Amino acid sequence: MTETTPLAYLPATEALRRFRERTLSPVELMAAVIARAEAAEPTVNALAERTFDEAMAAAREAEARYSGKGRAPRPLEGLAVATKEEQPIAGRRATDGSLAFRDEIAEQTHPVVERILDAGGIVHARTTTPEFSCAAVTRSRLWGVTRNPWNPAFSPGGSSGGSGAALAAGETTLATGSDIGGSIRIPASSTGTVGFKPPYGRVPAMAPFNLDTYCHDGPMARTVADCALLQNVIAGPHPTDGVSLRPALVLPERFEDVAGLRVALSIGLGDWPVDAEVEANTRAVAEALRAAGAVVEEVEVPITRARVRRAAMLHFGAVFGPYVASVAAEHGDLLTPYALAFAEETAAFAAEPGGFLAGLVIESEVQAVLGSLLDRHDVLLCPTLALPAFAADDDYTSTEVVVEGETLDHYLDAALTTVFNIASRHPVLSVPSGFASTGVPTGVQIVGRTYDDTTVFRAAAAVEAVRPWGGVPVL
């Protein structure tokens, strides 16, 4: 952060240090974040719910803790955290971005939100999503279109697009997301932020989707250290989630350098066409890691997008699709075209011979490829998206997506993310790689061995150090 950077962009780790030194008050920072949100929201539209008055009251309570009154400050004391609306809070609306649920009130609080509140984080806002979080752009009939702060003609991605946009716009200090096919990493890439898909079970979730191996809740931030800070708060076993891992993994505050780290570089995995600017930025990250002492080797990864899409749709057809279809059966006239299309497409795959088992066969093939690759390398580096960003004003129910002259079968084939929901035990960080000529950021994924979160953060911290990013969108 420079002297000219707005206070609302202060990293969480730096804010906590200044709170403890009493050179900054949580009240000052919260006021700056709220002011930035009020200025940006007419353009960005990232917040589904605002509780600014309650947040200021909580900031005053945090200020008292730092001054020695009452209990000691907690790990996130006084920080603004925007949570994805999909993650419910008891007593608050739980719409899932759908007009069908616009009057629903949650009875439970998501374990991630519960832990943030217990750690002193202040949930001043909840962020927008596409309906049922089943799209890679953030737009709904309930909330309208959420736009990318770097260029409003483009989407911040989805489904955690509101969280990514809020971070990029300075409307929050930290944010949460969830990821079933790239929904943390796609927005992180398109907004120039950091998003972590933890390995399955690392972060507790809510039933019944906690049992879905594709599903992950995780942290989003503007720096790698901030992302690690929030991850340490939300990770660990929870009594309501029997698949949450114990003991909790605690990431270090600082990571060793990458001298000798073996990095496998793949621009398009098996057959993903990749935009020239995205490729150039990905290669620049690889060169930066090489300059920092890593051993970078370009590799072939024999995983094809057709096989990945088939496996994913067979999986969704057995788990997620029937849920959306059940809502469509009762409230179809209220749903978005993309939600209805998702229900129809997944049902068609589910009806195919072999069904879920056929998908598991493909999944095992994907996991075998990645397991073998990461037995020889410490991390895999590849783009997050094959293009910089999707358009904000399109739901992609009929629009073809063309990347470097190749027409994709489905717009979601532009994401190189779902591979790692299939191989769900691999931790994946998306970090910024640069900017496209449209002004929209691009990102890379750093993929680790199963449950080796620390090495992924180590590589990401090195990228951040040798190829710093940042800046403030002009809104």
Residues with catalytic roles: 84, 159, 183
Q: Residue 337 carries which side chain, given as an amino acid letter?
A: P
What ranges make up the beta strands (E) of 215-280? 216-221, 262-265
Residue 344 contacts residue 311 (beta carbons within 8 Å): no
Q: Which helix (H) or strand (E) holds 82?
A: strand 80-84
Residue 224 contacts residue 67 (beta carbons within 8 Å): no
Residue 31 contacts residue 56 (beta carbons within 8 Å): yes
The sign of the torsion formed by the CA atoms of 330, 333, 336, 339 equals positive
Tell me which residue has tokens 């959420």: 146
Instruction: Answer left, alpha or beta for residue 405, where phi above 0 means left and psi between -120 and 50 means alpha.
Output: left
List Cα–Cα distances, 194 to 131, 188, 386, in angstroms.
23, 5, 17
What ranges make up the beta strands (E) of 324-420? 379-383, 402-403, 406-407
Rounded Cα distance between 228 and 252, Å, is 8
Rounded Cα distance between 22 and 67, Å, is 8
Task: Please tell me whether the peptide bond between 187 and the residue prior to it is cis, using omega within 30 degrees of 0.
Answer: no
Q: Please give the structure tokens belonging to residue 345.
A: 């497409």
What ranges make up the beta strands (E) of 358-470? 379-383, 402-403, 406-407, 428-435, 441-448
Q: Please give the structure tokens belonging to residue 362.
A: 């493909």
Q: Under DSSP, is residue 387 helix (H, G, I), strand (E, B) or coil?
A: coil
Residue 180 contacts residue 212 (beta carbons within 8 Å): yes
CB half-sphere exposure, 311, CA atoms < 13 A: 23
Residue 375 contacts residue 387 (beta carbons within 8 Å): no
Q: Please give the structure tokens belonging to residue 377.
A: 């390398």
Rounded Cα distance between 313 and 342, Å, is 9
Phi, psi (rounded to 5 degrees) for 317: -65, -25
Rounded Cα distance between 197 and 131, Å, is 21
Radius of gyration (C-alpha) of the chain in whole angstroms: 21
